[in-house]
């Protein structure tokens, strides 16, 4: 009779292999199936199924992780984008300056800068220039001194709060110089203004020529909202005609301006007389008076971008002019930050800029980034108002380089990601406070920035496949062992005792 086929017995080779068997079998006739064992087996399968499903979901899900690393950006400069609205400062007096610790000191930057004059509703009204330097007006040199010109009397009437209104009432047309004695441009204008007054008197122009000392009569100049010296303002029937005169300061230029004003008034009167018969037509439409003031609200929107060094520095919006000295007592730097960011612009773009390959990549990456890591422009749409003169807001900004890695590793090594799903942006932390100035100093809205040497890395974190397989084995083995121990304990407790 042949021996039964048994893999656990046989020749010497097979016996040697069986001696290292970790999974020794218990003969079936030595095992016992119980109801409790079946119940625990079903519990084990249920627990393993739930844990297996949970672990698979965890493996498929990616988490967002952050870390701090030394910023390895080797670009020497960074782009600064800004869009500001100055509520009470004319575009003629807006200057953007840049300074940093490397010695950079650029005054009145005009490259890539746009200025828009605003109306009283804050809407753009007049384009005030792009990449344009302020034009220097011409001044006239005279052989006579001001004292010599005054020897035969002053033709330019010195005005005070007592006679200012009377002077305007007595002169239908008036041209007034509002000056400060310490202003160098006013000092150069004094002889020219006196000669202009003499020329007006000589030819018999129906114009009153006056001047106001804004140091002695500061309140009068405040009431007239004189923001810079000298201010040459035309008045008609007691009302200021804006904008102020800002052309060359020579006798010929001033005389020509006055003649044009008179000619416009005369042409209007001739037109009015000619059309007086058609009263119905005149009532049906409103015709602006010649020489009347057009809206000249002192608001300016300035926008553009600057390339600044990656070192501590600041850019500031200051009130100054190449042809005037600003009146510190009337300089109001209340401003609204429409937009301020560092790096390539990714928000507040025009429609034609939103469908570029770069912007499609930006939208794809940012869609996966949590909101707490999107502090790219925290100052946008904020108003920084000052309710008193001689003060302005200063802003302190910490710029943090942020690397967004939303793809998988490129294979070049740990921490190296494919460029398709990676993006470098700049987050900002800002603080603002009001700074008070001396009465003689002109305030400025200052934006001080500092580049952080550390960077934030935001990246997707997913589990490795071998970690997932280890967890599955731990679930199977741990569940089987744990429930086996429970089953053995319960079996001993509830096993019928032999008598």
Supply the pLDDT for residue 492: 79
pTM, whole model, 2 decimals? 0.70
Supply the pLDDT for residue 310: 93
Supply the pLDDT for residue 484: 83
Average pLDDT, whole number, for the chain? 82
CA dist 41 → 34, 38, 91, 394, 496 (Å):
11, 5, 83, 72, 21
What does the pLDDT average to over 435-447? 89
CA dist 188 → 139, 169, 181, 184, 200 (Å):
7, 29, 11, 6, 20
Q: What are phi and psi of 214, to 5 degrees?
A: -80, -5
Quick one: the chain helix, strand, coil %, rounded to 5? Answer: 30, 30, 35
pLDDT tens track for 227-239: 889 999 999 989 9
The 3-state DSSP class for residue 370 equals coil
Q: Which residue has the tokens 């589990």?
A: 463
pLDDT tens track for 220-229: 998 998 988 9
Q: Which residue has the higher pLDDT, 60 or 98?
A: 98
pLDDT exceeds cutoff 50 at 413:
no
How many Å apart are CA 201 and CA 156, to the nearest integer? 10
Quote the tokens at residue 112.
């890539």
Yes or no: say if 428 and 377 are a contact pair by the CB < 8 Å rule. Answer: yes
pLDDT band per the 50, 70, 90 thresholds, residue 315: very high
């Amino acid at each position: 009779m042949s021996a039964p086929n048994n893999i656990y017995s046989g020749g010497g080779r097979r016996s040697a292999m069986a001696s290292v068997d970790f999974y020794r079998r218990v003969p079936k006739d030595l095992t016992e199936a119980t109801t409790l064992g079946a119940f625990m087996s079903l519990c084990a399968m249920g627990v393993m199924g739930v844990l297996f499903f949970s672990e698979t979901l965890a493996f498929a899900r990616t988490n967002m992780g952050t870390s701090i690393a030394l910023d390895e950006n080797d670009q020497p400069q960074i782009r600064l984008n800004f869009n500001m609205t100055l509520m009470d400062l004319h575009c003629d007096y807006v200057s953007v300056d840049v300074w940093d610790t490397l010695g950079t000191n650029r005054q009145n930057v005009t490259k890539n800068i746009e200025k828009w004059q605003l109306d009283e509703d804050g809407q753009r009204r007049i384009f005030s220039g792009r990449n344009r330097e302020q034009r220097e007006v011409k001044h006239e040199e005279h052989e006579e001194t001001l004292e010599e010109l005054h020897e035969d009397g002053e033709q330019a009437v010195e005005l005070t709060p007592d006679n200012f209104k009377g002077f305007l009432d007595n002169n239908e047309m008036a041209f007034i110089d509002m000056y400060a004695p310490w202003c160098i441009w006013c000092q150069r204008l004094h002889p020219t203004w006196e000669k202009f007054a003499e020329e007006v008197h000589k030819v018999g122009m129906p114009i009153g020529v006056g001047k106001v000392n804004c140091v002695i009569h500061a309140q009068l100049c405040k009431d007239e909202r004189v923001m810079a010296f000298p201010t040459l303002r035309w008045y008609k029937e007691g009302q200021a005609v804006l904008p102020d005169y800002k052309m060359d300061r020579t006798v010929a230029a001033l005389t020509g301006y006055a003649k044009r004003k008179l000619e416009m008034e005369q042409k209007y009167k001739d037109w009015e007389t000619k059309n007086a018969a058609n009263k119905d037509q005149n009532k049906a439409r409103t015709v602006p008076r010649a020489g009347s003031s057009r809206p000249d609200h002192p608001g300016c929107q300035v926008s553009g971008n600057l390339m600044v060094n990656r070192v501590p520095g600041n850019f500031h919006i200051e009130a100054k002019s190449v042809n005037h000295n600003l009146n510190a007592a009337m300089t109001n730097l209340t401003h609204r930050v429409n937009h301020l960011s560092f790096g390539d612009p990714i928000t507040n773009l025009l429609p034609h800029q939103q469908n570029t390959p770069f912007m499609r990549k930006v939208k794809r990456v940012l869609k996966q980034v949590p909101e707490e890591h999107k502090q790219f422009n925290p100052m946008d749409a904020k108003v920084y108002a000052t309710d008193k003169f001689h003060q302005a807001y200063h802003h302190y900004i910490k710029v943090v380089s942020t690397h967004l890695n939303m793809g998988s590793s490129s294979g070049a090594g740990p921490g190296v990601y494919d460029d398709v799903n990676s993006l470098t942006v700049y987050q900002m932390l800002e603080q603002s406070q009001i700074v008070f100035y001396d009465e003689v100093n002109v305030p400025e809205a200052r934006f001080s920035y500092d580049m952080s040497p550390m960077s934030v890395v935001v990246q997707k974190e997913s589990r490795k496949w071998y970690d997932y397989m280890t967890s599955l084995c731990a679930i199977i083995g741990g569940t089987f062992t744990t429930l086996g121990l429970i089953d053995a304990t319960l079996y001993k407790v509830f096993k019928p005792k032999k008598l």
